[in-house]
Structure 1
Amino acid sequence: MEIIIPIELCELEAGTYHPLVQARFNDKNVGWWVIDSGASKSVFDKSLDNHYQPDEHPVKQATGLGKDLVETASGEISELWLGQFDFGSLTIALIDLTHINQEYARFSDKQIVGLLGSDFLIRYKAVIDYGQQQLILNLPDEEEFA
């Protein structure tokens, strides 16, 4: 089944755009995910601890934006609502997104809650249609979820 979710393009500098998709949480709060095909794993802002369950795994260091090491942990979001569709739970890396939100605040009023990485995009065979400003996702067959 194909699902179409509207995206917004956020222009951070002249001619540079980031595709964003709106998310809704259990408590009806709204945030924005940056669609980031260059991120190997989806990440979530660790300061939003009322929206995820942390794993028992110890904190690790991973390469972040640029060459700097960032402190990460892992967790799970129980419900990921994009548009009108609940994708269920999502395993995430937890990092501090303060620096990203500070940068976005210069150009937009959107709160960035995370980066949708290639783990999510590949699972749903994502296509970003910039002309129509939409994210097209394909739900896996039931057997693929097992």
Structure 2
Amino acid sequence: MQTTIPLQMIDLHDDGVHPLIDIRLFGKKFKLVLDTGASRTALDKELLTQANAEALISATDRLSTGLGTNSMESFTMMIDDMRIGRLKVELFEAAVLDLSTINIAYEQLNHPQVLGVLGGDVLMKYQAVIDYGKRKLKLKY
């Protein structure tokens, strides 16, 4: 089976575009950046805390690389109730980081707040096909 999810393309004002998708997590709607360059799905610690999911966050001794640094404090969370379109994503471990700089930049550009990035871990598992022309993401399940 396959689900097709619309991509919302946001303009970064002369610095490219970011494709966003809608997801459901903890029974609430959130937006994620579709990030083919991210090896793992990463979620913002502050927004998870605001969603009362702080008890699910675990500390890790790993340091995150990317996002302009190699020394960011990192946490993880086991996710078992994320939905993307009709797809219920199977249990997986997401990185939990301070992504506030992304949301601050988005706010300055009048873009919506994002919970984080959907990375290669989920995209590969569900054989993602991204169609920028039609602004659609297809996932197989």
TM-score of the two chains, using structure 1 as the length reference: 0.83
Q: CA RMSD in A?
A: 1.9
Hey, what does 1:32 align to over in structure 2?
A: 31
Superposed, 1:1-146 pairs within 5 Å as 1-14=1-14, 16-27=16-27, 29-47=28-46, 48-49=48-49, 50-51=52-53, 53-55=56-58, 58-139=60-141
- Residue 105 and residue 92 in structure 1: after superposition, are their counterparts in 2 closer, same or farther (change >3 A)? same
Cα distance in structure 1, aligned partners of 2:15 and 2:97: 28
Cα distance, 1:78 vs. partner?
2.5
Tell whether the 8 Å contact from 1:75 to 1:91 is kept in structure 2 after alignment: yes
Cα distance in structure 2, aligned partners of 1:60 and 1:16: 31
Cα distance in structure 1, aligned partners of 2:42 and 2:15: 25
Give secondary structure in 2 for the equivalent of 1:19: strand
Cα distance, 1:86 vs. partner?
2.4
Cα distance in structure 2, aligned partners of 1:79 and 1:51: 12
- Residue 7 and residue 19 in structure 1: after superposition, are their counterparts in 2 closer, same or farther (change >3 A)? same
Give the number of equivalent residue pairs.
137
Cα distance, 1:118 vs. partner?
0.6
**AA paired with 2:9?**
L
Q: Which runs of 5+ in 1 are unaligned?
A: 140-146
Tell whether the 8 Å contact from 2:20 to 2:31 is kept in structure 1 after alignment: yes
C-alpha offsets along residues 90-146 of structure 1, whole Å, 9 cap, x if unaligned?
A: 31001011100001112234111011111111111111111111101111xxxxxxx
Q: Which runs of 5+ in 2 are unaligned?
A: none
Give secondary structure in 1 for the equivalent of 2:121: helix
Hey, what does 1:144 align to over in structure 2?
A: none
TM-score of the two chains, using structure 2 as the length reference: 0.86
Cα distance in structure 2, aligned partners of 1:87 and 1:39: 18
Runs of 4+ residues over 6 Å off in structure 1: none
Among all aligned residue pairs of Structure 1 and Structure 2, give the percentage whose two residues are the same amino acid: 33
